[in-house]
Amino acid sequence: MSTKKTNDDLLERLNLSRRSFLKTTAAGGAAVVAGGLVELKTAKEANAFAYEPYPKDDELETVVTSCAHNCGSRHMLVAHKWKDVIVRLSTDDGRYQRDGHFGKDSLEEPQLRACLRGRSYRQRIYSAERLLYPMIRVGERGEGKFKRISWDEALNFVSKKMIHLKDTYGPTALLDQSYAGASYGVLHKSDQIEGLLGRFLGMFGSRTNSWSVPSYQATTFSSRMTFGTIEDGNEDDAFAHSKLMIMWGWNPAYTFHGGNTFMYMRMAKQRGCKFVLIDPQYTDSASAYDAWWIPIRPNTDAAMMAGMAHHIFTNNLQDQAFIDKFVQGMDAGTMPDWAEGKENFNDYILGTYDGEPKTPEWAENICGVAAKDIRKLASMYAETKPAALKASWAPGRNAYGEQYNRMAAALQAMTGNIGILGGCAEGVGKAWHAEAVAYPYDQYANIWFQSIKSDRWAHCVLNYPNVKREEIGLWQRQDETDGQIPNIKGIFWQGSDWLNQLTNINKDLEAIKKLELVVCMDSTITPSGLYADILLPIATHFERHDTALPWYKGHYYIHRPKVIEPMGESKTDLQVFTELAYRIGGDVFGKAYNPKASRDYFHVNDNVDEAYLREWWETKVIPHQHVDMSWDEFKQRGVYKFNLDQPHVAFRDQIENGTSFQTASGKIEIFSGQLAQITDWKKTMYGYEIPSIPKWIEPWESLNSPKIKKHPFHLISPHPRWRTHSIFNNCSWLRETYEQEITVNASDARRLGLKTGDIVEVWNDRGKCVVPVYVTERCMPGVAVLHEGAWIDLDENGVDRAGNPDMLTLDEPSPAGAFAYNTVLCDIKKTDLEHRPGWDKLATSRAHVFRRDL
Amino acid sequence: MSETKDKAKIKEAVKRVKRETYTPVKPDTQLGFVHNNVDCIGCRACEIACKDKNGLMPGPRFRRVQYIEGGTYPNVYAYKVNMSCNHCAEPACLPTCPTGAIFKRKADGIVDIDSTLCIGCRRCEAACPFGAPQFDPADNIVKKCNMCVDEIEAGRKPYCVMACMMRVLDIGQIDSIWDGELETVAVGPNDEIVRQVKNMANIELTKPSIGFVPHSKGKVK
């Protein structure tokens, strides 16, 4: 079919005849074509549009793109632009896909509708906090005083410093703290494994890597040990097929985890699925799915699960045939021959080893859930088929959080709910696999000279060289540098606001003073950026060419053209690293880092980016994934949706066809052979012992700890709905939909004399923050909830006036690397200290506190 | 916004308003919203889509997802009531307008404000029992939801409806919504539709064009 014919068909089918498509010319440069002319008449009759002038969508140019933050989903955004300005954003309405039409929203190819965060992108890209020019620090570090400099000065400064630090302190001097804030494209990536920065620093020869994932290291570890892979997830449409869904600490109404998961769950509800929520809060997910709410003390989930396992074993409710066939170490009969004398899960639960049967009554003492409810839930889960126990990430962000995830996997396995439609082995939840990398991913990618647990950098910097390898979770190396403590002297932030987001901010602030170079590459001036030496303005994903992947569920690609020209003097990450490579190592480094580019890439990047993306589509996507859409057609439509034969279910092949799991034994390892054979824990990246079967281990702080005499509240810091971590905190549209507030139970509030809206201080020995309080019956007594990601705003005494919970968190991770974000005790009282919400609250209506019917 | 108001035009409009106040426009068909109070996760994507569509700064919120919660720990409940302008059969805002800026469309019953006539006196804001008209300090006039008439005229649905990730908000011919005859995924197979929920102003005041799938605790006896 000729291109013209294809175009004409598209125009007709998509009913877009009045629109103009984004055209990428042969020169690859002109992303902008003239939009339809906008007639801006002043109305003369009483039927005018409510506010004139008002350009209608069909008078504007339409460009399909997507959101791009690190949240849990990836949805379509449709930019309606006039010249080089995005006038408004809409989302998927069924028109853009192949054979689409307005309103098409089938179960196989649902619309990819963006959430409130995605819809507010215009406020982010056009915000006052937008970083538009390279800036260099002129005051003390953290004072927030910068002056504008040229790119030339900025890049010379960075490259000279890099060379100096590497020459003086060696190959571990530069700490890679890139993260996913600018990530999830295939070309412009920021993360620790596939990121652009990792490859750049690795090639340069000085990089300390940060290996633990703040959000979900517990379940990553658990799934690797149990299933041999982190791809333990079902596709979102599989969630429509459960008869029982246990949402363990899971709040998709806030996180929007994965494509259309929440919508398919609604479908399950309409088909009669029962929902259960185990959580210290009665969340919006609980109300929307009409769930049985079981409030639980934070950090005690593994104990409740052990109680459920006890009930299932002692009533013989387990799926023994499944266990015998697929599971290692669930009971004595499924232990491997070599493991004589090692513990199995059944005997642990029954108390054979320690004389302590993990009965529901035993569990009740720890987790606060009535034994009868533990029994009832265990019976429901064992007797309903198929049933999904969705073990979410939040309860894993704890001291010994990996035990919760390992215990969940044991329950999933003993009830035979793995590998079947309507069951669930999540976990991590990663499902359908996208082709993720379009830039050169070669022998230089993810080279590191030491690798540490991500939240131990400050500990390492402050105590160097008197640091033990287990304290920082040093990853094992196969050469003579194994065990050498990294001498960190500089930090790179690429797409990361980690100073604001890691644990124990006060300690981070101490450590950052000791560094000699702090580089922040971002499109926004973040709280971290204020502590940088140099700020490099990075083009947002609206200002560079890329393709979007689903975040962890959903099966589609969304094209991301350059919707508008980069604002100010912004450049892409890839442009910056390429230019730095040329400045540091001339043509050799420059060409190796970016083989398709020439020396002028810093100024002209469109052709090269197009070449990488086209090659990726034509050599990876089309052949590997049986895609029959050309790159040009994809670019024109903006989206490609896969139509799968059946819902993707993790481990279906293992269960239906008997193929091996990816573990050493080929089975689901409730008894982990890998862990059982470790003899010197200090030499592992874990540093400390981890049992080879799931066990309840008392966390260092909880409501059961004697420490509650001093700090009686357990503070948890879940992901907010109105931000993605710290991203979007500066968007007033989102700010007026919520308050950064600490949630407490009404009985606690009465005792403390608090009512909703009162300003309180929240503190422990590590730090203090100031926030308004929200009083509700929907939260467990003794628990306080403060959402993560508020932008720190410190007063002269180091008190955070904006309410960031990481002022109070502890920077000691769990052995497996899980951040202990939710293992925090604190106290709360009414205060006269200043609270600064960070935006003009008075400017808004307050409908969100309207009619809270207490 | 025009700086000078056309005085002759205002006179003419006032006459029309008086006529219509006592005889409200009988639309050929009346469009209205339907919202599922139970299945709504309260994400407010509709609100943000509306803000973006209408180019609003912080302050006016044409669409408001109201969070209702109650009970005593641990027996609690929560649901959402999502409302913008109800495009009432007998709009309370309309007769209060001194310049005739507010009008009800004959074709579809949508109530709209002509920004070239509005002087920002805010009387309509006070009159509406649902909080639909809202003052926009940026432009010194009152604005409100007009059900995205531009989208409707283009054969599409309003931004809020098309933003709903749970597909629990929709529009349709209001009688068919109330009769349960509208084909929409906003309403589940066993859901009933009501015109009034708890804590909402008496619908006899203005006869709002809206239907709800109510929460058990939100039902009015």
Query: Looking at residue A561, what is its pLDDT?
Result: 97
| pLDDT, tens only, A745-779 | 999 999 999 999 999 999 999 999 999 999 999 99
CA distance B33 to chain A (A): 17
Instruction: Show residues of chain A in contact with B131, CB under 8 Å.
Output: 847
Query: Looking at residue A24, what is its pLDDT?
Result: 30
B116 CB within 8 Å of a chain A CB: yes
- Overall CATH class of domain B7-218: alpha beta
Same domain, yes or no: A333 and A448: no
Q: What is the ipTM of this complex?
A: 0.92
Query: Looking at residue A740, what is its pLDDT?
Result: 95
Top pLDDT among A265 and A854 is at A265
Answer yes or no: is pLDDT of A612 > 80: yes
DSSP letters for A264-276: HHHHHHHTT-EEE
Given A396, A427, A458, the domain boundary residue is A427
pLDDT averaged per 10 residues, chain B (length 221): 75 78 85 98 97 90 95 97 96 93 95 93 95 90 95 96 98 97 95 94 93 96 78
- Are the beta carbons of A543 and A126 closer than 8 angstroms? no
Same domain, yes or no: A362 and A399: yes
H runs (alpha helix) in A468-625: 498-501, 505-512, 573-593, 606-616, 622-625
CB contact under 8 A, A844 and B58: yes
Instruction: Show residues of chain B in contact with A45, CB under 8 Å.
Output: 114
If phi > 0 it is left, if psi is from -120 to 50 it is alpha, else beta; for residue A825 that is beta
Q: In the block, which residue shows the tokens 């089938």? A: A106
Both structure tokens of B201: 């102003």
- Are the beta carbons of A257 and A553 closer than 8 angstroms? yes
Same domain, yes or no: A719 and A810: yes
For residue A555, the tally of other CB atoms under 10 A from its CB is 22
CA distance A512 to A462: 9
Instruction: Show residues of chain A in contact with B114, CB under 8 Å.
Output: 43, 45-48, 50
3-state secondary structure of A196: helix
CB contact under 8 A, A266 and B39: yes
Top pLDDT among A854 and B40 is at B40
Q: Report chain B's terminal Cα–Cα distance, integer Å.
A: 46
B16 CB within 8 Å of a chain A CB: yes
Answer yes or no: is pLDDT of A853 > 70: no
Q: Exposure string (b/e) for A794-828, b if CB count within 10 Å is 16 or more?
A: beeeebbbbbbbbbbbbbbbbbbbbbbbbbbbbbb
Among A42, A88, A851, beta carbon nearest to B68: A851
CA distance A157 to A210: 25
Name the A residues in 774-793 with CB < 8 Å from any B CB: 776-781
CA distance A31 to A16: 19
**Domain-located, residue A433:** no
Among B59, B100, B113, beta carbon nearest to A50: B113
- Identify the band that residue A71 occupies on the pLDDT scale cut at 50, 70 and 90: confident
**Domain-located, residue A264:** yes
Q: Where are the domains of chain B?
A: 7-218
Both structure tokens of A772: 């308004």
CB contact under 8 A, A51 and B45: no
Residue whose C-alpha is closest to residue A163's, from A176, A154, A174: A174
Instruction: Show residues of chain A in contact with B65, CB under 8 Å.
Output: 847
Q: Find, in chain B, the residue whose alpha carbon is nearest to that of A77.
A: B163
Mean pLDDT computed over every residue of chain A = 92
Same domain, yes or no: A306 and A405: yes
Same domain, yes or no: A193 and A225: no
Answer yes or no: is pLDDT of A805 > 60: yes
Beta strands (DSSP E) in A285-442 are: 292-294, 327-328, 387-391
Among B39, B43, B114, beta carbon nearest to A115: B43
Instruction: Kindly give, in sequence order, each residue whose CB lies less than 8 Å from that of residue B124, ignoring residues fewer than 6 positions away.
Output: B92, B93, B94, B96, B97, B102, B113, B133, B142
CA distance A784 to A800: 17
Residue type, B122: R
Name the domain count of chain A.
3
CB contact under 8 A, A287 and B77: yes
Q: Report the residue of B16, B44, B64 to disrupt the A interface, i.e. the one with the largest count of A CBs within 10 Å.
A: B44
How big is the CA angle at A32 (ends A543 and A97), to the nearest 5 degrees?
80
A101 CB within 8 Å of a chain B CB: no
Instruction: Show residues of chain A in contact with B189, CB under 8 Å.
Output: 270
Name the β-bridge partners of A203: none
**Domain-located, residue A42:** no
Answer yes or no: is pLDDT of A3 > 70: no
CB contact under 8 A, B73 and A57: no
Answer yes or no: is pLDDT of A841 > 90: no
B74 CB within 8 Å of a chain A CB: yes
- Give how far Cα A498 sits from Cα of A213, A494, A534, A789, Å: 12, 10, 16, 10
Query: Looking at residue A12, what is its pLDDT?
Result: 45
- Are the beta carbons of A289 and A250 closer than 8 angstroms? no
Same domain, yes or no: A222 and A291: yes
Among A47, A88, A850, beta carbon nearest to B66: A850
For residue A611, the tally of other CB atoms under 10 A from its CB is 14
- Are the beta carbons of A523 and A125 closer than 8 angstroms? yes
CA distance B207 to chain A (A): 22
Instruction: Kindly give, in sequence order, each residue whose CB lies less than 8 Å from that of residue A536, ignoring residues fewer than 6 positions away.
Output: A134, A154, A158, A519, A520, A521, A522, A571, A576
Q: Exposure string (b/e) for A209-232, b if CB count within 10 Å is 16 or more?
A: bbbbbbbbbbbbbbbbbbbbbbbb
Query: Looking at residue A846, what is its pLDDT?
Result: 39
Instruction: Show residues of chain A in contact with B87, CB under 8 Å.
Output: none
**Domain-located, residue A7:** no
Name the β-bridge partners of B82: B65
Query: Looking at residue A240, what is its pLDDT?
Result: 96
Residue whose C-alpha is closest to residue B30's, from B192, B176, B203, B187: B176
**Domain-located, residue A40:** no
Answer yes or no: is pLDDT of A854 > 50: no
Answer yes or no: is pLDDT of A10 > 70: no
CB contact under 8 A, B76 and A850: no
Residue whose C-alpha is closest to residue A536's, from A194, A164, A150: A150
Query: Looking at residue A29, what is its pLDDT?
Result: 32
CA A628 to chain centre: 31
**Domain-located, residue A756:** yes
In degrees and rounded to multiples of 5, residue A746 shows phi and psi of -60, -35
Same domain, yes or no: A233 and A200: no
Q: What is the mean pLDDT of residues A221-230?
A: 98
Same domain, yes or no: A336 and A304: yes
Query: Looking at residue B3, what is its pLDDT?
Result: 65
B8 CB within 8 Å of a chain A CB: no
| pLDDT, tens only, A227-248 | 999 999 999 999 999 999 999 9
- Identify the band that residue A42 occupies on the pLDDT scale cut at 50, 70 and 90: very low
Residue type, A799: V
Both structure tokens of A627: 């895609």
Altogether, the residues listed in chain A come to a count of 854
Answer yes or no: is pLDDT of A161 > 80: yes
Percent over 70 (pLDDT), chain A: 92
**Domain-located, residue A672:** no
CA distance A780 to A332: 39
Answer yes or no: is pLDDT of A593 > 70: yes
Same domain, yes or no: A325 and A367: yes
CA distance B101 to chain A (A): 7
A272 CB within 8 Å of a chain B CB: no
Q: Are strands A292-294 and A274-278 parallel, antiparallel or unpaired?
A: parallel
A28 CB within 8 Å of a chain B CB: no
Instruction: Show residues of chain A in contact with B54, CB under 8 Å.
Output: 50-51
Query: Looking at residue A55, what is its pLDDT?
Result: 86
Answer yes or no: is pLDDT of A36 > 50: no
- Identify the band that residue A322 occupies on the pLDDT scale cut at 50, 70 and 90: very high
Same domain, yes or no: A143 and A167: yes
Given A398, A427, A456, the domain boundary residue is A427
Residue whose C-alpha is closest to residue A218's, from A440, A13, A6, A426: A426
Instruction: Show residues of chain A in contact with B74, CB under 8 Å.
Output: 282, 293, 295, 780
Domain of residue A420 covers 217-427
| CB < 8 Å & 24+ apart, contacts of A311-314 | A311/A360, A311/A374, A311/A375, A311/A378, A311/A379, A312/A378, A312/A381, A312/A382, A312/A411, A312/A414, A312/A415, A313/A346, A313/A349, A313/A350, A313/A414, A314/A350
Q: What is the mean pLDDT of residues A445-450?
A: 94
Q: What is the CATH number of the domain that holds A387?
A: 3.40.228.10
Same domain, yes or no: A533 and A417: no
**Domain-located, residue A651:** no
DSSP letters for A74-97: --EEEEEEETTEEEEEE---SSSS
Name the A residues in 620-659 with CB < 8 Å from any B CB: none
CA distance A114 to A756: 31
Name the B residues in 118-177 with CB < 8 Å from any A CB: 131, 134, 139, 141, 143-144, 146, 149-151, 154-157, 159, 162-168
DSSP letters for A648-690: --TTHHHHHH-PPPSSSSSSEESS-HHHHT---GGGSSS-S--
CA distance B68 to chain A (A): 5
CA distance A67 to A76: 6
